[in-house]
Amino acid sequence: MSMDKETVRKVAGLARIQMDDAELETMAPQLSKIIDWIEQLAEVDTDNVEPLANVVNINLALREDKITDGDCADKVLANAPEDVQGFFVVSKVVE
């Protein structure tokens, strides 16, 4: 499968990565090569094989419904570029 420039532009947009035309031109063939390489996996016959979620036979761990965390607004906000009265402050996002 080859990734054309427009597909790379779309994927970059979804990932919020800004790329100019020159970068798209460079990236498209590189990404295509990576995908081609991975696509070799499609050659393996997986008919009648259940998807494998993990290689060791364990079940999903569950926890009791108890309040054991939170109440640490200072830690949560520690890396925020801007905060006011306990809120994160970001550029206006409303339409």
Partner 1 sequence: MAQLTKGKTGEWETVIGMEVHAQVIAESKLFSGASTKFGAEPNSQVSLVDAAMPGMLPVLNEHVVEQAIKTGLGINSQVNKHSVFARKNYFYPDLPQGYQISQFDQPIVGEGTIEIDLKDGTVKEIGITRMHLEQDAGKSLHDQHPTKSYVDLNRSGCALMEIVSEPDIRGPEEAAAYISKLRMILRYLGTCDGNMDEGSMRADVNISVRKPGAELGTRAEIKNVNSVKAVQQSIDFEVQRQIEILEGGGEIKQETRLWDPDKNETRSMRSKEEAHDYRYFPDPDLLPLELSDEQIERIRKTLPELPDEKKHRFMDEFGLSAYDASVLIAERPRADYYETVAKDRDAKLAANWVINELLGILNKNDQDIADSPISAENLGGMIGLISDNTISGKIAKDVFAEMYKSGKDAGSIVEEKGLKQVTDTGAIEAIVDEVLAENPDNVAAYKGGKDKLFGFFVGQVMKKSQGKANPAAVNELLKQKLS
Please report whether residue 62 would count as binding partner 1 according to CB under 8 A. Answer: yes
Cβ 91 to partner 1 shortest distance, Å: 7
Taking the C-alpha atoms of residue 27 and residue 3, their distance in angstroms, rounded to an integer, is 9
Please report whether residue 53 would count as binding partner 1 according to CB under 8 A. Answer: yes
Applying CB under 8 A, among 21, 45, 64, 81 the residue interacting with partner 1 is 64
Query: x/- contact string, 11-30, with partner 1 (CB under 8 A)?
Result: --xx-x--------------
Q: Are 1 and 36 in contact (CB under 8 A)?
A: yes
Closest CA to 1 of 28, 23, 22, 25: 28
CB atoms within 10 A of CB 11: 14
Cα 77 to its chain centre, rounded Å, is 23
Cβ 85 to partner 1 shortest distance, Å: 7
Q: Which is nearer to partner 1, 14 or 22 (CB)?
A: 14
**Total interface residues for partner 1 by CB under 8 A:** 38
